[in-house]
Amino acid sequence: NAGVTQTPKFQVLKTGQSMTLQCAQDMNHNSMYWYRQDPGMGLRLIYYSASEGTTDKGEVPNGYNVSRLNKREFSLRLESAAPSQTSVYFCAGERYGGNNEQFFGPGTRLTVL
């Protein structure tokens, strides 16, 4: 089992460019999440998908869109990147949803110039 995988690992964008961060899991997770990690702020929830076919906003959704393509895949899209979106992005999965352990991917380090 690969667990939770993310691509790419690193990315540099110019302001205004778009890109999609990919996340896939082979752990049969029902729920999936996208977080951003910034120094001194812990992780903040961007969007989540409680189950296949549903998505909901988290704490910091502005400037992002998501797609739960199927049970395994949950992508995060930046339509017009801004320097404020420079961060490390983590995808996570949770098998039963709600109040259980989340399993994290290795992260994508994004720099927007």
Partner 1 sequence: GDSVTQMEGPVTLSEEAFLTINCTYTATGYPSLFWYVQYPGEGLQLLLKATKADDKGSNKGFEATYRKETTSFHLEKGSVQVSDSAVYFCALTNDYKLSFGAGTTVTVRA
- The footprint of partner 1 (CB under 8 A) covers 4, 31, 33, 40-45, 48, 50, 56, 58, 90, 92, 97-107
Least separation in angstroms between residue 111's CB and partner 1 is 16
DSSP collapsed to 3 states, the chain: CCCEEEECCEEEECCCCCEEEEEEECCCCCEEEEEEECCCCCEEEEEEECCCCCCEECCCCCCEEEEECCCCEEEEEECCCCHHHCEEEEEEEECCCCCCCCEECCCEEEEEC
Least separation in angstroms between residue 35's CB and partner 1 is 8
Nearer to partner 1, 28 or 54 (CB): 54
Nearer to partner 1, 30 or 75 (CB): 30
Nearer to partner 1, 10 or 80 (CB): 10
Least separation in angstroms between residue 14's CB and partner 1 is 26
Nearer to partner 1, 67 or 103 (CB): 103
